[in-house]
Structure 1
Amino acid sequence: MTNFKLDGKVALITGGSQGLGLEFARALANAGASVAVTSRDKRKAQESAELIRKETGRDTLGVAVDVTDYEQIQAMVDQVIGTFGRLDILINNAGVNVRKPILDFDEASWDLVQTTNLKAPFLCTKAVVPHMIKQKFGRIINIASMLGQVALAERSAYCSSKGGLIQLTKVMALEWAEHNITANAICPGPFATEMNQVVINNPEANQFFLNHLPLKRWGKPGELNGLIVYLASELSNFMTGSSLVIDGGWTSE
């Protein structure tokens, strides 16, 4: 079990101040890593970082950044490297969802989803990987979705962005394997997070989801932690380019 330990490693989690991102940051810190979490809101990022520090005793950093702005991303990476001296694990978690029928989908909403869910991981990874190449070690974990593999009505932008992220992950795996950098995607199904409260609070929509889940419940955010730590650890040395679904059985139908 010592191979699960992340002592001496540094992890950066975008969108790590709430929801699944906060759970990921806690899990990595509990495994021994120093963690940096981001948010557009500086106060929220710093409060989440302090919460993790108090809970785990690990060194933490809260960074305000717009992950669609490359200059801000580069400044974020410089701050993490300047604080911790290295950067080993990148979790591209920040994301948004806009739910509309295709004919009602406006261009601005489409661009928001694509830029946040697909372009931002591309930009963040591009800024981080040169440091990983120098270290001859890196872990890239992209948070995609089961909706990158199966479709759902009124999720055109979200499904296409997450499908694109799965393919981008495979290209990353191919291009950086020689540098001992792995890239994998996690594809969560329905998890009870802030983003999904609008669905959970709608009885008809909630029942639709439960009807498609063989386990008959929403996932709990902490139920992704084991996979996150595995992919960040030495135990996953031979895994790259994979997309792993944790969805309560939805895609088994």
Structure 2
Amino acid sequence: MSAFDLRGRTALITGSSRGIGNALAQGLLEAGARVVVHGRSRSAAERAAAELGDKTGGTTWATAFDVTNAAAVEQGVHEIEEVWGTPDILVNNAGIQRRTPFLDFPDADWDDLIATNLTSAFLVGKHVARGMAKRGSGKIINIGSVQSRLARPGIAAYGATKGGIAMLTQGMCADLAGFGIQANALAPGYFATELTAALVADEQFTQWVAGRTPAGRWGRVEDLVGALVFLSSSASDFVNGQVLYVDGGMTAVV
């Protein structure tokens, strides 16, 4: 099992002050990594980092920078490298959702989704990968979605960003594999989180999720941890450019 051991490795997880990112941070801490907790608000990131450290006994550090701004990303990554060096593991998790029918979808919401869900992974990925390339090793895990493959009414823009994540991941593989870097995507199905709280509360939608998912339920954030540890560890050294769907079987059936 030593191939899954993350002791001695540093992970940066964007958008990890709450939600799925926070659960992923806890999972990597429990696997032995030290974790840079990131959020939009420094106070929120510091609070989350302290709570995760207390809960797991692991080592955490907090940072805050705008993942959609190239200059802010460059400075933020530089500060991390000054303190802990280039991360061994990058999890591009930061993301938002907007639900509006395509014909009425606001241009501003499209721009926000592209910037937060896709551009951020490009910017943070590029700046962290430069240090990884110099070192000759690294793991990049981009968070996709079942919407990387499947569409639903009202979320065309979100689906476009997550489809983009799948192709960005393959492009990273093509460009970075020669530097000893593996880039893969982790694609959750329908998970009960802060982002989906309104849908979970909708009894009709929850029945649809249970009926459409072979596992018969919403995903729980802890369901993602095993797959993330695999993609972050030496166990996945020959896995590159892949999208791993953790969706209870949704993308496997019609």
TM-score scaled by length of structure 2: 0.97
- Give 5+ residue unaligned stretches, structure 2: none
Pairwise CA distance, 1:221:
0.1
Q: Which residue of 2 aligns with 1:251?
A: 251
What is the DSSP-based 3-state SS (H/G/I as helix, E as strand, rest coil) of the residue aligned with 2:61? strand
Q: Structure 1, residues 23-81: CA drift from partner, whole Å, max 9, x if none?
A: 11111111111110111111110011111211222221111111101111112111211
Q: Which residue of 2 aligns with 1:30?
A: 30
Q: Distance in 2 between matches of 1:59 and 1:214?
A: 38
Matched, 1:90 2:90: yes
Q: Distance in 2 between matches of 1:82 and 1:99?
A: 40
Q: Which residue of 1 aligns with 2:154?
A: 154
Pairwise CA distance, 1:211:
2.1
Q: Which residue of 1 aligns with 2:199?
A: 199
Q: Distance in 2 between matches of 1:171 and 1:31?
A: 28
What is the DSSP-based 3-state SS (H/G/I as helix, E as strand, rest coil) of the residue aligned with 2:151? coil
What is the DSSP-based 3-state SS (H/G/I as helix, E as strand, rest coil) of the residue aligned with 1:121? helix
Pairwise CA distance, 1:250:
1.4
Q: Distance in 2 between matches of 1:31 and 1:204?
A: 37
Q: Structure 1, residues 197-237: CA drift from partner, whole Å, max 9, x if none?
A: 01111222222222211222101100110010111100100
Question: Which amino acid letter does the alignment assign opposite residue 25 of structure 1?
Answer: A
What is the DSSP-based 3-state SS (H/G/I as helix, E as strand, rest coil) of the residue aligned with 1:230? helix
What is the DSSP-based 3-state SS (H/G/I as helix, E as strand, rest coil) of the residue aligned with 1:217? coil
Alignment of 1:35-114 (within 5 A): 35-114=35-114
Q: Distance in 1 between matches of 2:40 and 2:141?
A: 20
What is the DSSP-based 3-state SS (H/G/I as helix, E as strand, rest coil) of the residue aligned with 2:62? strand
Question: After alignment, is 46-55 or 233-242 more displaced?
Answer: 46-55
Pairwise CA distance, 1:130:
0.9
Q: Distance in 2 between matches of 1:118 and 1:169?
A: 11
- Aligned residue pairs total 253
Question: After alignment, is 52-61 or 241-250 more displaced?
Answer: 52-61
Q: Distance in 2 between matches of 1:25 and 1:81?
A: 19
Q: After the TM superposition, which segments of 4 or more aligned residues of structure 1 sit over 6 Å from their partners?
A: none
Question: After alignment, is 92-101 or 198-207 more displaced?
Answer: 198-207
Alignment of 1:114-193 (within 5 A): 114-193=114-193
Q: Between the two proteins, what is the percent identity of the paired residues?
A: 39
Contact 2:219 2:248 in 1 (8 A): yes
> How large is the RMSD of aligned CA atoms in angstroms?
1.0
What is the DSSP-based 3-state SS (H/G/I as helix, E as strand, rest coil) of the residue aligned with 2:110? helix
TM-score scaled by length of structure 1: 0.97
- Give 5+ residue unaligned stretches, structure 1: none
What is the DSSP-based 3-state SS (H/G/I as helix, E as strand, rest coil) of the residue aligned with 1:152? coil
Question: Which amino acid letter does the alignment assign opposite residue 150 of structure 1?
Answer: L
